Chains A and B, each alone.
Chain A
Amino acid sequence: MVGAFIAAGLVALFFLSMKVSNLSTMSGGEGYPVDARFDNIGSLKVRSPVTMAGVRVGRVSDIGFDSETYEAVVTMSIDSRYDTIPDDTFAKILTAGLLGEQYIGLDPGGSEQYLKTGDQIQLTQSALVLEEIIGQFLFSKAEEGSNSE
């Protein structure tokens, strides 16, 4: 009976870690780090997904701040099986759904050279901040109004 009790408890804990937590979705193999600099990362967090064509190819492993250029330095860990990503790939911060989490989307470029460990993605687009978009919209509306008079 005691053996059954301990076994049941361990099975429950195993179930929690395998089925409920992110252990099953963690990448099994090692990844290689790639840096990218953004003016604004919005609410991107460590462990946010990095996707390409909607498929998760890695995760954000570290977010830092460069106090000289005032840019955010995002380090991504890309699964090593995806080792043919062109080095002129375009990285942008996207939002899943209207209120969802932010993630990094990669658009492949046309280069023959592939990203390697420690490379930096040069082409980036910051996160869209709702207030800034509304501000720009109001500004352009006001401009239109003054032009038509």
Chain B
Amino acid sequence: MLEQLARLGRVGIAILAHIGRGNILLFHILGGITDLATRPGLLIRQLYSVGVLSMLIISVSGTFVGMVLALQGHYTLSQFGAEQSLGVMVAASLVRELGPVVTALLFAGRAGSALTAEIGLMKATEQLSGLEMMAVDPIKRILTPRFLAGFISMPLLAGMFSALGILGGYFVGVGLLGVDDGAFWSQMQAKIDLHEDIYNGVIKSFVFGWVCTWIALFQGYEAVPTSEGVSRATTRTVVHSSLAVLGMDFILTALMFGG
């Protein structure tokens, strides 16, 4: 009995220590931002590998999600004779929820796992220790540009996802299913609010970008420096990021649209 209580305590302390190390790392990462201004090349290289390389999967899935939304939405809406509202439905669900959330999930799988694997391998091959030996702070040199790149890329990717999804929905709704062109856009413009819907969606994607990149970098930095440890860390990145995104999404939605 006492033994189990002690074990529970150990688990609790381990979790708290884990969270604490994550926050200390985040603090150090943010501390490196000022130094980054003198070397913007580092950030641009990371923007390429985190943002540009994620563009293809985000664009393709955004378009298809929009097209499927239009098909499914049309089926339900036509039963009420409300096909005209298809544009509102597609745009509202993309801008408010699917854009930020699906982008964040794809981002965790595409960019987050790559970040973890890269940093974990750098640790395993002692490149991080090597940098430290040369009096280069590996957090400022390696982690900060990657963190900032993820934070900047996420809202841009989410914006592309939503915009392409709406265009995909437009092609299916107007082109294929014969919804009226003017009603599609005018109802959308009448119902989608710039502050209520679009700003909140962008805020969501900033938060998700922050969380996903943070988790990916922390898992990479904390990885056990063996091939097995790196593979575990990569898996954990995807699992933890996805869970964090879904949990945060519920809290943010409740705060933004709940009351």
Contact = CB atoms under 8 A, between A and B. Distances in A.
A5 B198 contact: no
A4 to B, nearest CB: 8
B162 A16 contact: yes
A16 B51 contact: no
Contacts of B143: none
Interface string B74-114: 00000000000000000100010000000000000000000
A5 B189 contact: no
Given A2-B47, A5-B47, A5-B55, A22 B189 contact: yes
Nearest to B87: A20
Interface stretch (A7-15, A65-73, A87-95, A128-136): A7-15
A6 B159 contact: no
B159 A2 contact: no
B92 to A, nearest CB: 10
A26 to B, nearest CB: 8
A25 interface: yes
A20 B189 contact: yes
Q: Is the interface of B mostly helix, strand, loop or mixed?
A: helix
Interface residues of B, number: 30
B25 interface: no
Nearest to B52: A5
Interface in A24-49: 24-25, 47
Given A20-B189, A21-B192, A22-B190, A12 B48 contact: no
B22 to A, nearest CB: 28
B188 A20 contact: yes
Instruction: Indicate the member of B52, B157, B191 with the most A CB atoms within 10 Å.
Output: B52
Interface string B186-198: 0011111110011
A20 B91 contact: yes
A8 B160 contact: yes
Contacts of B191: 22
A22 B47 contact: no
B194 A21 contact: yes
B155 A2 contact: no
Contacts of A11: 163
B196 to A, nearest CB: 9
Given A1-B52, A9-B156, A25 B47 contact: no
A140 interface: no
A25 B189 contact: yes
Contact of B185 (A9, A12, A19, A23): A19
A2 B52 contact: yes
B202 interface: yes
A13 B44 CA distance: 21
A111 interface: no
Contact of B189 (A4, A8, A13, A24): A24
A2 B48 CA distance: 5
A103 B164 CA distance: 33
A20 B160 contact: no
A17 interface: yes
B94 to A, nearest CB: 9
B159 A16 contact: yes
B166 interface: yes
Given A8-B55, A19-B185, A20-B189, 11 more contacts: A2-B51, A5-B153, A5-B156, A9-B159, A12-B156, A12-B162, A15-B163, A16-B159, A20-B166, A22-B192, A23-B194
Instruction: Report the 3 A-B pairs with minimum CB-CB distance, sorted nearest first.
Output: A9-B156, A12-B159, A12-B163
Interface of A: 1-2, 4-6, 8-13, 15-17, 19-25, 47
13 contacts: A5-B156, A6-B47, A6-B156, A12-B160, A12-B164, A13-B163, A15-B163, A16-B162, A16-B166, A21-B194, A22-B192, A24-B189, A47-B193
